[in-house]
Every structure is written in structure tokens, then in C-alpha cells.
A and B are shown apart, each in its own frame.
Chain A
Amino acid sequence: MTVSKRTGYFGKSIKRVEDPRLIKGIATYVDDLRLAGTLHTMILRSPYAHAKILSIQTGAAAALEGVVGVFTGTDINPNCGLLPCAAEAPDLKSPKHTVLANGRVYYVGHPVAVVVAADRYAARDALDLIEVDYDSLPVVSDPEKALQDGSPLTHPELGTNVAFTWSVASGDLDAEFAKADRIIKQRMVHQRLTPMAIEPRGCVASYNAGDGALTLWTSTQIPHLIRTLLPGMIGIPENRIRIVAPEVGGGFGSKLNLYVEEALCSHLSMRLKAPIKWIESRRENAMATIHGRDQVGEYEIAVKKNGTILAIRAKTIADIGSYLQLLTPAIPTLTGLMLPGCYKMNAIRMDVTGVYTHKMSTDAYRGAGRPEASYAIERIMDLVAADLGLDRIKLRLKHFPKPDKFPFHTASGLTYDSGNYRATLKKAQKLASWDTLLKRQAKERKSGKLFGVGVSTYVEICALGPSKMMAAGGWEWGCVRIEMSGKVTAITGVTPHGQGQETSFAQIVADHLGVPMEDIVVCRGDTSVAHYGRDTYGSRATALGGTALIMCIDKIVAKARQLAAHLLRAKVEDVVFRDGQFLVKGAPKTNIGWATLAQEAYLAKNLPANFEPGLEASSFFEPTNCTYPFGTHIVAVEVDRSTGEVKIRDYVAVDDCGHQVNPLLVEGQVQGGIAHSLGQALFERTVYDEEGQLLTGEFMDYPLPRAKDIPDYVMGSTVTPSPSNPMGIKGVGEAGTIGATPAIANAVMDALAPLGIRHLDLPLLPEKIWRAINDR
């Protein structure tokens, strides 16, 4: 790997090149597309969580001026395949996930019919004219009740509400529990959350009948995976499908999916030979875009009196909603794999039961299974410390593997690539002035305040991942082209939608080619430009996509060196590449740069023998392992005794994501992640009532953190490079969400500890805290 010393972009906090267009409002989102002749769709959704559809009358709607057609499941489903799920479990039972409801609805928001009209107004008016006769059926909206005998069945034809079971087990669990001095138990609820990306979903499908080809613009994180999966639903081969993810206004995992609306619009465009547009409303987004989390876990920890944690046994119920989306069953398995956190222990077992209920599906939401794990294990560490009267810091230090023990094999069977957990902990303590903070706490407590200090030392899994772990390839692809003018086009198979890789990849490419960043354009998100890719999720993009680009550059440099030797009349082995110039050893004045090389490579009049014209290379990078970033977050909170409200006083985050291409982007990712965590820890929750009605379907009722909720952060980092990729990058897209929630929760529980309150479930709503205080 050759890095230009002259450009030196790597490691610099460079402002995002994406931002001007976003700030000026001149970026192009799906809804900004205006294709001539576009027809607009609106979807009629079920108001019931479970009902039989007795009849659907579409006549009046179809007769409305401007309406082109009204379609129901009977019209659509026979022409579309079922929505696929890419995750597997041996005993997985899957209901048939049709594009529109097939005679029955299973959640509030279930698509029942679609109106296609000349404009959105006619389409919306027509929705009100469709008459559906529903026969409501018994609902189950609580996953624990769903497992009881006699519970209504989500999908009666499956004969059970159990979708799948999955276990991770290693070590001699019974023996470890037999050796224990004490078994500490805690039940923990990981509440359901709604991702609420600021831009809801939406798509435009345009079928070209002449070519038999379809273009689908969709607000997605995964255009490439959709291109792989959509052919099975609509019957067009993948080489006639182009998927474009234009500007995407937030994903957080909620757009890591193939949704029925994407297949529906594609089918309608083929059927009606017109571009079809669908734009999701906020209310639809809340009820029909995947939700996150929603696990209930019973944790048992076998400990010795001295605090040694021998083993953990967990049983969790994962509420997966009514259908399997792309990765639904895989999410709780990530919880099981990451449950040991950054601690040594001898045995672990986690049994997951995935349960169907009459609610929207759950799937990957920022952190995807890892926040549940980090929350559980970090609460466990504090509970063990509290129950045994030990120091929580010492307890953690005692269980950290030492830096020289990496690669470290966890009790759950993973191999952590590299780590120095003690270093991040120590640095965070220093930034938080730990001893002073504890003194301050003692003083505040004396004066009657409920003041808490919380710590979490988390580890997570990123850069997913080696293909053997993944359903459809875990490699990443890239292509770099030196254009004839000497400008550089870098095409990546990852699909950034806010992470900033147009900037960080330009930094990487500029350094490796020795050219100014301004000369580089990073292309992404269009399968006809980025031919292959596995897209953006699981904090994989920089580590994998960035590496694929470097591999391309290595190939280009090797090729250009031959051309340079030819043009400089030197031997190839005498030509060296440095700072964007090819030089002849011993004659540094004899050199040649990219502009000349590119021109010669494309003019192709003076090339070495057997030299292919052009300067372009593509590469697939297959990682050897995932990466395991980690960090320590320290939080100080104050709880208002009279209302139960929590105020964050101090926040310190020290994260280790390996080498940082652009610290500004890293900081932004961590800050955003902490904001998400703050919501999860303190107030966010998706609420369905017993009838399966969604009570948090608007921003009126679903609180997202606002600017004034966000504390001032003190941020720091340590650098432990990952050996899994040549740049030593780990990933940081989800770290904040994984590390912060338990730190905040631990701080609040620490504040309440003097009152004898041991554990409260998230979110730590004021009323919940107030009740706990008053129940004492």
C-alpha cells in the first residue's frame, strides 16, 4: 500500500463535500424526481391489526376523475412473488408475505389496496372511496402472551406463534453454574423503537417496455441487494434491472430492506407502462417501515464471591411482528453472539425464541441486536458489582482480555480482532476527571440530590463481514478510473446515505494516487454505475469499501508504472511511484504524472507492447474477519426527585474505531449515535395497545431527541488498528448507539441506588422513576 506523503488527507478533519448541496436544498431525493408521464400511487392500509377481508369495493374509487386504476391483492399477488427473507434459522416458519394483503390483514398498516392516479390528490381522494368490509379477529400484540396456551395466533396456518428458535452455547454451562457462589438474575426489556428517518421511504419505478428493462429509484441503503432480490418478485432478470438510491435522508437500518412497495411500484410500472411514484407519509413510515429492538430477556449470571463471572445464561423472546423482513431473524442472533461483551467468561448460552405478533416487523435498527447485548452485559456488570459490593471499574478491568490476548476468542465463539479495553477506560476516566466526579457525586448526594455516574465499556461488531458469515456475500467492490483528463472517478459498491464516504473515500483515493481531493468524484448508489456492491449497513462501508478502492489503485499504479517506464524509456523496475509522480530511480527530474499518463493511456498511440488502453481497475475485497470497535462512555446524571426527570450533566465518550480517515466524520457518527441512545435510554418507545393499534404513529407521540436534549460531549479516542483490513479501520456508524444506552441507564440506576432501586427497564421515563421513588 503506497500512501502519498504530499497530499496527507488521511486522518484530517475535512468538512464533508456532501454538505453544501444538502444545506442549500439542491440535493435530489426520490420525491424530487419528475419523470414525464408519472402516475402516482397511494396505498390503502388496514386500520385493524388482525381481520378477515370480506369484500373490497373499488368501483367508486376507480370511477373518480384522474384515477387510472385501483388494485387489490387479487389483482396484484398472482403477478408478484413473495417478499423474501435472507436470514435463516433451521426451524424458521414463514408466512406467505404477499405484496398486498391476501384476504387477511396482520398488522395496522398492512397494505390492502393501491390506487394509481394522474396526481397525488386524485389518488388520495380515491382512497376514501374504497370500501373494505373487515371482520375483525382476535389480536395478540404482546410477545409473552403470544407464547401462552390459547393465545390468538398471528398466522393461524402456521399453528404456532413461534417463528424460530436459535441458540448460541459454548463451554460447560452446568458445570460453571454448579461452581458458582451466587447466581444473579435479572429480567430486562429492550423496548421496541421506531427508526423515524427524517426522509420517509419512497420510490419511482420506470419500466421501458422496448428494452424490457426496469429502473427503480428508491430511498434505500441497499440498491445492490435489491437488484439481487427483486427479480424473484417481478420476473425481470437482474441484468435488466437498475436500482438507484439517490440522496437518502437517513436510514438507520430501516432502509436496509426490500419492501413490498418497491415490488408493487415495479409491477405497476410494467403493467401500466408508465413511471409509478410512491412517497410514504410520516404516519405510514411509523406503521409500515420496520421497527427495531423489542426483546425481553431473562439473564442469569454465575459468579464467584470475588466477582469472577463464570457464565451467563439468557433466554430471550424476540417480538418480530407479523412478517419476516430481510434480516428479521438474524437480529436477535447478533445479540447472542455479542452478549459476552468485552469480558472473559467460561461459558455462555442464549436461547432466542422469535415470536409473531400482530405488529409491524422488527429488523435492523442502528446497532441491530448489539445494543440489546451491550445494554444487557453492561447492566449485568453493574448489577454484579452492586450485588457483591465490588467496584464496577475493577470488576470490568478484571474481566478484560489483555491487549496481547488478541485475536481473542469469546465465549460465544467470535474472534475479536484487536483491542485495548483498559486504555479506553483509563482515558475516559481521565477525561471525566473520575475521582473528582465521584467526589462531586458524594457532595451532591449529601445535599439531597439524586446524582448518578454511569459507565459502559462496550465492544461491538462491524465491517460485516467475511462472506461465510453472510447470506449473500460480505465482500465489497470498487472501481477506480483515471479519466483521460487526469481527473479521477472512484466508484464504490457501498451506498452511503449520510455517513460521508464521498468525502472520506476521496481522501483515501487522493492520498493513494497523490492527487488533490477536488479532482476526485466518488460515485455510489446506482447499480448501473457501481456494478457490484453489498451496500451500507453494519458499519462496514469504510473498512470494506475503502479497501476495495485501494486494491483498485494498486492495480492502476502497477499498470501505470509500465506505461511510465515506456514513456520515460526506463526499465519498469527502475520506475518508482511517489507523491503522484512516476520517477526514474537516480534521476528524479525524469518524471511523469497522471495527466500525461492518462492521456497516453486513452489516446493509445504510444503504448508498450500488449498494453491495454485505459487506466481503470475494479476489485472485490473479501475481509478475513469482522472488526470489533470498542470504547468507554461515562455519564453523569441528575434525577429530579419530585418529577423523576433525568438531566444529563456530563458526557464523556472515548471510542476506538481503529485508524480514523476523518476524525470529524467519526465524531459526527458518535454524536449522532449517542443522540439515538439518549432517546432509547430516556424516552423513545413504540407503543401498541392490546388491540394492536399503534399509539405512537406521529411525532406528536413518538419523541425523538431534540437539540436541547443533547448534552455537551467530551470526546476522545484511542487507536487500536484492526488487522482485518489493510487500513486498520474498524467502523463507527453504530458505536454511539451501542455504547451510550447502557452508560446512561447505569448512571440513572446509580443515581437511584441510594433509594434501594436496583433496576428499571428502558425507557427511563420520568413517571416510571417517580413511581419507583415513591414505591420505596
Chain B
Amino acid sequence: MIPATFDYFRPETLDEAAALLAQHGEDAKLLAGGHSLLPSMKLRLAQPRVVIDLGRIPGLNSIRESSGKIVVGAMTTHREIELSSLLAEKCPLLPEVATQIGDVQVRNRGTIGGSLAHADPAADWPAAILALEAEMVVFNRGGERRIAAEEFFVDLFQTAIQPDEILVGIRFPVTSRAVAYSKSAQKASGFAIAGAAVVVHARNRAVRIGITGVSARPYRASATEKGLKGKPLTQEAISAAAVSAADGIDPLNDIHASNEYRRHLALVNTLRALELAASRC
């Protein structure tokens, strides 16, 4: 349980961090809450030569509204999201997801940016990111760029963030209360075996559904979304559409859940999240 030797940097600015990252390239790892990075370093699964701690960079830990969007800084902890009154009002799916992550100690430490950059296929945030059609803001020495949710998750533990880039924030739309997250937790880790996040856009009669835990890459349940397009969210419509929540998906298979059961849980949680969101319309 002792990591291999590494150098530790604690930059004070984003530019400094980006410079360090450019200098050390693949040898470096950014450190956010450390809740995924440190265990893998202690088991020596990860052996970065350089660790760059983002903890002292001002501005990365923030929740604010800016020109109609909600911007959550990458270093914002799950707990801060859970307790944010701004989010409770303007983007209530985020606090709802946050409360279902780990326990209070975990939520006090883990960050939304760390979770997204890590891209654990069983993490909870990706479902919300997809359902909310959020945008990830990344930074390197050349400046900023934005990555759409659909393009962000590439594969198991792989995102569209380039090695010289730092995730600085996530941009969310303001939503109504008609949102929900439903999750079947893996009993030991608490991560999702299947988690479904739903956002209902009542005005144009559309829903967005993000699903995590089920496959190597979190996905949008597009067949279900299509099935509900333009329809009122009646129990019959929801039940009929939820059954296609894992269409075209190749579910994961491990000791915690077979691929068949995961597929089933994707449907169950989609159904539950839809029912819940519909009840909040």
C-alpha cells in the first residue's frame, strides 16, 4: 500500500499547471480528490513520476451561473454539489446524483472533474452529463476548448481530454424539476451497476436519458428517447419505451452482475427514473 516514488507539484495557477503538464507529458498525473488516483498508486497500478495537485488553483472550485448556463468547476466536490442551493433550484439533477455517490466522507473528497476525467464505467456522473447534454471545458497552454457530452466518453477509463489538457469546468443547462436519477449500486463499492439519469424537456416533449454502469462507455438511451418523443409521459408510454434502454448495447459482465442482469437493470432504472421525472413535471 505504498506508491512508487514520485515528484509532487502544487501549482498556484492554471497556466503553471498547464506548463507542468506540457513539460512532463505522459509521466504526469493531475491530482484532484485523489479518491481514484491514490488507491491505484498505492496498489502500484498507476506509477506516475510526477503528480500535479490542482487543489490550490483558484477558481476551479466553484458553482456559478453565467449567461444562462450553470458552470461547475472541475474541483467542486460531490458534497458541495449536493448542498448547493443554486443547483437545487437551477439544475436539480446534479444534487440528486451527488447524494447517491459513496458516503459523506467520499463526497467530501471526490470531485466532479476527477470523476469525469477518470471515466470509470461505473461512476454516477456520466449519466447526468449525458442526460443534461453538458459541455466539458478543457484548458491547455493554447487556451480553452469545449467538448460535448456525447463526444467526451471514449472507452473504459478514456475520455476526449488530451494528455496536455486540464478539465476546468462543466457547463450545464438550467432545467426544470422534471429530472431524476435511479441507480442499482454494486454492493461492495457503491458504484453503479446500472444508473439512469433522466431530463424531461416538457416544452418540446422530449426526454434525454443517460445510462452509466452498464457498458464500457456511458451512453444515451436513444431508442427510448425516440420512443417517447412528442408523447405525453403516461405510464404506458414510459413502460413501452423503457424496454429499449439497452438496445444495441453490449453490457459488461463481472462477478457483481452478468451482462443479462445489467441489461435488465438498465431497463428497470430507466423506467424508475422516467416515472420519477414524470411525476415531477
Which residues of B have CB within 8 Å of A699? Answer: 188-189
Q: How far is the CA of A281 from the CA of B44 in the complex (A)?
A: 13
Q: Is the CB–CB distance between B188 and A642 below 8 Å? A: no
The answer to whether residues A128 and B44 also contact, given A701-B256, A767-B261 and a CB cut-off of 8 A, is: yes
Interface residues on A, range: 20 to 34
Q: How far is the CA of A771 from the CA of B265 in the complex (A)?
A: 13
CB distance from A776 to the nearest CB of B (A): 16
Q: Does B105 contact A (CB under 8 A)?
A: no
Partner of A702, one of B5, B188, B258, B264: B188
0/1 per residue, B1-44, Cβ < 8 Å to A?
Answer: 11011000000000000000000000000000000000000011
Q: Is the CB–CB distance between A642 and B268 below 8 Å? A: yes
CB distance from A645 to the nearest CB of B (A): 8
The answer to whether residues A770 and B255 also contact, given A643-B184, A700-B188 and a CB cut-off of 8 A, is: no
B30-79 residues at the A interface, CB under 8 angstroms: 43-44
Q: Does B276 contact A (CB under 8 A)?
A: no
Interface secondary structure of A, over-half rule = loop
Q: Does A650 contact B (CB under 8 A)?
A: no
CB distance from A14 to the nearest CB of B (A): 32
B223-239 residues at the A interface, CB under 8 angstroms: none
0/1 per residue, A684-700, Cβ < 8 Å to B?
Answer: 00010000000110011
Q: Does A283 contact B (CB under 8 A)?
A: yes
Which residues of B have CB within 8 Å of A128? Answer: 4, 44
CB distance from A116 to the nearest CB of B (A): 15
Q: How far is the CA of A703 from the CA of B186 in the complex (A)?
A: 9
Partner of B188, one of A125, A281, A645, A703: A703
Q: Does B187 contact A (CB under 8 A)?
A: yes
Which residues of A have CB within 8 Å of B261? Answer: 766-767, 770-771
Q: Does A120 contact B (CB under 8 A)?
A: yes
Q: How far is the CA of A700 from the CA of B189 in the complex (A)?
A: 4
Which residues of A have CB within 8 Å of B257? Answer: 767
Q: Is the CB–CB distance between A281 and B189 below 8 Å? A: no
Among A120, A683, A770, residue most surrounded by chain B Cβ atoms (within 10 Å):
A770
Q: Which residue of A lies closest to B265 (CB)?
A: A643
A613-648 residues at the B interface, CB under 8 angstroms: 642-643, 645
Q: Is the CB–CB distance between B187 and A124 below 8 Å? A: no
Q: How far is the CA of A472 from the CA of B1 in the complex (A)?
A: 38
Q: How far is the CA of A694 from the CA of B38 in the complex (A)?
A: 22
The answer to whether residues A687 and B258 also contact, given A642-B268, A700-B189 and a CB cut-off of 8 A, is: no
Which residues of B have CB within 8 Å of A282? Answer: 1
CB distance from B7 to the nearest CB of A (A): 15
Which residues of B have CB within 8 Å of A696? Answer: 188, 255
CB distance from B235 to the nearest CB of A (A): 15
Q: How far is the CA of A721 from the CA of B5 in the complex (A)?
A: 61
Q: Does A121 contact B (CB under 8 A)?
A: yes
Q: How far is the CA of A701 from the CA of B1 in the complex (A)?
A: 17
Which residues of A have CB within 8 Å of B184? Answer: 643, 645, 766
Q: Is the CB–CB distance between B4 and A125 below 8 Å? A: yes
Which residues of B have CB within 8 Å of A642? Answer: 268
Q: Which residue of B lies closest to A281 (CB)?
A: B1
Partner of B268, one of A281, A283, A643: A643
0/1 per residue, A747-773, Cβ < 8 Å to B?
Answer: 000000000000000000011001100
Q: How far is the CA of A703 from the CA of B188 in the complex (A)?
A: 4
Q: Which residue of A lies closest to B4 (CB)?
A: A125
CB distance from B218 to the nearest CB of A (A): 19
Among B5, B44, B256, residue most surrounded by chain A Cβ atoms (within 10 Å):
B256
Q: Which residue of A lies closest to B47 (CB)?
A: A128
Which residues of B have CB within 8 Å of A700? Answer: 188-189
Q: Is the CB–CB distance between B255 and A687 below 8 Å? A: yes
Which residues of B have CB within 8 Å of A766? Answer: 184, 261
Which residues of B have CB within 8 Å of A124? Answer: 2
CB distance from A477 to the nearest CB of B (A): 38
Q: How far is the CA of A457 from the CA of B257 in the complex (A)?
A: 34
Q: How far is the CA of A193 from the CA of B175 in the complex (A)?
A: 47
CB distance from B173 to the nearest CB of A (A): 31
Q: Is the CB–CB distance between B258 and A767 below 8 Å? A: yes
CB distance from A731 to the nearest CB of B (A): 31
0/1 per residue, A273-296, Cβ < 8 Å to B?
Answer: 000000001110000000000000
Q: How far is the CA of A683 from the CA of B268 in the complex (A)?
A: 21
0/1 per residue, B189-214, Cβ < 8 Å to A?
Answer: 10000000000000000000000000
Among A645, A687, A696, A700, residue most surrounded by chain B Cβ atoms (within 10 Å):
A700
Q: How far is the CA of A704 from the CA of B187 in the complex (A)?
A: 8
Q: How far is the CA of A590 from the CA of B227 in the complex (A)?
A: 96
A-B pairs, 6 with minimum CB distance: A703-B188, A703-B187, A124-B2, A767-B261, A281-B1, A700-B189
Residues of B that sit less than 8 Å from A by CB: 1-2, 4-5, 43-44, 184, 187-189, 255-258, 261, 264-265, 268
Known: A128-B4, A701-B188. 5 other contacts (CB 8 A): A120-B2, A128-B44, A643-B265, A700-B188, A770-B261
- CB-defined A-B contacts under 8 Å, sample of 8: A282-B1, A643-B268, A700-B188, A701-B189, A701-B255, A703-B187, A767-B261, A770-B264
